[in-house]
Amino acid sequence: MSAEGTWNITVQTPMGDQASTVELHADGTTLTGTQSGNGESGPIYDGSVEGDHASWTVDITRPLALTVTFSATVDGDSISGTASAGPFPPSPFSGSRA
């Protein structure tokens, strides 16, 4: 199943659940798009997709200024994986197509 589309995800962080919307666009194995949450929106970068696996990076400023790298698996209309941010341990996330 394609990672392409709009996803509503929730990351379970040490600072509480963080909800965001991710719009993913695939061009071959390259993944681009935007991620919005906590009153901010930014482009994703270093994105890639292969089969049902996807990864991307986004810079956030709220609740802390961090670079967050997502590693995801798509299963139909569900997406889940981990989000790694700076010195924090990887946090699980999950979501569904919007």
- 15 pLDDT above the threshold of 90: no
Give the amino acid at 76.
G
The domain locations on the chain are: 5-97
Per-residue pLDDT tens over the stretch 85-96 = 988 899 999 999
Per-residue pLDDT tens over the stretch 22-65 = 999 999 999 999 999 989 999 999 999 999 999 999 999 887 89
Pairing of strands 45-50, 30-37: antiparallel
- 1 pLDDT above the threshold of 70: no
Q: At 38, phi and psi to the nearest 5?
A: 55, 35
- 77 pLDDT above the threshold of 70: yes
Residue 67 vs residues 42, 52, 63, 82, 87: alpha-carbon distances, Å: 11, 23, 12, 14, 10
CB-CB contact of 9 with 94 (8 Å): yes
Architecture of domain 5-97: Beta Barrel (2.40)
